[in-house]
Structure 1
Amino acid sequence: MRRTTVLQEDRWKLRAEATWGNAAAGEDLVALRAENDQLRRALAGRAVIDQARGMVMVLTPCSRGTARDLLVGTSRQCNTKLPEVAAAMVAAWEGKPLPERMQRALRHALRRLYAEDRGCESPRRMSGPGRERS
């Protein structure tokens, strides 16, 4: 006897069929649910990243690409996923302290950004009497 169950998720208007006694269809359903959960998490992380990127663009007048590069650089230096860095920055905007490691990485990325804007190799290199810029 074959029995087919139709599952429907109202939120996303998706339909999937699972046939009892058919292992392949059940595996497909599990794979689709896992992919759906992964996509939902990615979309939620994307919103936080966009919000953090907007904050960076306001605080350091720069383009979208530069703001994203700054966030990605901070993420790499901290060895933390980009959505986590973005969430920490948004939380810092709301009053929660930014972790020390992220503060250092962000400071380093900002120095590098400002050095590139000024056209010098290092943000600490300064010209003055008796000093020559190379």
Structure 2
Amino acid sequence: MYEEAEQLKKALERRPVIDMASGVLMATWSCAAEEAWQVLVRVSQYANTKLYDVARAVVAATQHQPVPVHLQDHLAAAATAWRARRADGA
């Protein structure tokens, strides 16, 4: 029970950062919340990096901090894929 409570606490602490990162993507790319979420998940999966760490990097970039090298290509690929889907009307 204690472990479950700790996991819930950790999730509640990390959720605002993930939400902020989604907001950054929504504002930057003019995309919907679900699309921003999908981008974060895609980058997390392909970069083999926790979603929270991807979100922190996106938020940190708004403060002119460099995006970690291992995430740069994955974010660029996600942006390209998102733009292609948008151009196709999907």
Fold agreement, TM-score > 0.5: yes
1:29-40 paired onto structure 2 within 5 Å? 32-40=1-9
Please tell me the residue identity of whatever aligns with 1:65.
Answer: E
Matching residue of 1:55: 24
Higher strand share: 1
Query: Normalising by structure 1, what TM-score?
Result: 0.63
Offset at residue 33 of structure 1 (A): 2.3
Q: Which residue, 72, 78, 82 being the options, matches 1:103?
A: 72
Over the aligned positions, Cα root-mean-square deviation in angstroms equals 1.3
Distance of 2:60 and 2:36 partners within structure 1: 17
Residue number among 74, 77, 80 corresponding to 2:49 in the alignment: 80
Higher normalized contact order (CA 8 Å, seq sep 6+, divided by chain length) = 2
User: How many equivalent pairs are there?
Assistant: 89
Q: Would you tell me which structure has more helix in proportion to its own residues?
A: 2
Q: Deviation digits for residues 56-86 of structure 1, max 9, x if unmatched?
A: 0000001100000011111111100101110
Gaps of 5+ in 1: 1-31, 121-134
The sequence identity of aligned pairs, in percent, is 37
Identify the range of structure 1 (32-41 vs 80-89) with the bigger mean alpha-carbon deviation: 32-41
Aligned residue runs from structure 1 range 39-50, under 5 A? 39-50=8-19
TM-score by length of 2: 0.91
Q: Which residue of 1 aligns with 2:34?
A: 65
1:38 aligned partner, one-letter code: Q
Structure 1's consecutive aligned runs of 4 or more residues displaced over 2 angstroms after TM superposition are none
